[in-house]
Amino acid sequence: MGSGKVRPIRVAFFVEAFEDAAPMLDAIFADCHSRWGGRFSLIVPCAAGQIVAGYWPWLEAFDPDIIYAYVKLDDNEILEIHERVAPADYVFHWLEHPSRLDLARLRPKYHVEALSSLSTIFRFTRHRAPATGPAIKILDSLYPENSTRFLSDNFGTYTSSFPGRSYPNDASSRAELLTVVPQGEFESTKRSVPDDGIHIAMEQEALAELLSSRATGLGLLSSLFAPSLPIQDNRWSGASIW
């Protein structure tokens, strides 16, 4: 007799450090916030087309289901990955225009669809739904193009993690969006901001809502009901996996 339980997909991202790597990390963070358990992913640094040697034990202990590479590895390196880690899938992110590193082009694209982090709000609010109105507020932000991405990268925001997707109607009874919209954006013709919903103008207000537990980011929803990976290895068990 055997037993089993459902667990989130584990993804290890291979990234090579270079001057313009920030947009790549932004895309990875946005993807991680969008998936159930996605916050417990692993970023593996590479150099000269190879995994940094010191990260091999961590990669083996993490035991990823998917290797997602932004680095072009040689055939021998890929073979070693399959022999030592045996992922279910290996995906190389082809950059058609390497000089144009924007979030849309860098966003991970998988061969399977992972469970959305939004799915956790139904269980999260099951025993705390108020008599009227949604139980929680999910952080979102609409910024001009030259934003710092502080909220999106650290807490997860809806527009960043689910670009182009309208907020699902079936979730609106459980949670609503708390959107940070800078002054003047309502009048801007370049961006459409819905009139309904909750809007605030300052990041500081959003942080106050997060600290007081009146709002939550997608990063928290991603980690709910997905305990961090227990690694039985003295070298790594005390370390944090992003």
pLDDT in tens, 140-170: 987 655 566 788 888 999 988 998 888 888 8
Query: Would you state the pLDDT for residue 231?
Result: 65
Give percent of the chain above pLDDT 90. Answer: 37
Higher pLDDT, residue 18 or 26? 26
Local structure of residue 10 (DSSP, 8 states): P
Q: What is the mean pLDDT of residues 195-205?
A: 75
Query: Which CATH code of 3.30.43, 3.40.50, 3.30.1380, 1.10.10 fits the domain covering 11-106?
Result: 3.40.50
Mean pLDDT for the chain overall: 82
Q: Which long-range contacts (CB under 8 A, 24 or more apart) does 99-104 make?
A: 101/20, 101/23, 101/24, 102/23, 103/23, 103/26, 103/27, 103/30, 103/160, 103/163, 104/163
**pLDDT higher at 235 or 6:** 6
Cα end-to-end span (Å), the chain: 35
Mean pLDDT in residue range 198-216: 84
Strand partners, 200: 180
pLDDT at res. 147: 62
Asked if residue 204 has pLDDT above 80, the reply is: yes
What pLDDT score was predicted for residue 108? 94
Tell me the CA distances in angstroms from 239 to 100, 225, 229, one per residue in order: 34, 20, 11
Residue 124: which of 221, 25, 234, 9 has the closest Cα? 221
Rounded to two decimals, what is the model's pTM? 0.84
Residue 159 — φ and ψ, nearest 5°? Answer: -60, -35
Instruction: Answer yes or no: is pLDDT of 224 > 70.
Output: yes
**Higher pLDDT residue, 197 or 94?**
94
Query: In the structure, what pLDDT confidence band is assigned to residue 82 with cuts at 50, 70 and 90?
Result: very high
Compute the distance between CA of residue 26 and CA of residue 153 in angstroms, rounded to an integer: 6
- Does residue 225 surpass a pLDDT of 70? yes
Q: How would residue 128 be classed by pLDDT, with cut points 50, 70 and 90?
A: low
Residue in the block written with tokens 């995906």: 91
Spatial CB neighbours of 94, under 8 Å, sequence gap ≥ 6: none
pLDDT of 189 reads 42
Q: What is the pLDDT of residue 166?
A: 84
E strands, 19-118, are 42-47, 50-51, 66-69, 89-92
Amino acid at 7: R
Lowest pLDDT segment from 13-17, 40-44, 60-64, 92-96: 92-96
Please report the DSSP string for 149-195 in residue order.
-HHHHHH--HHHHSTTPPPPGGGTTTEEEEEE--TTTTT-SSS---S
- pLDDT above 90 (res 199): no
* Domain boundaries of the chain, sorted by first residue: 11-106, 117-223
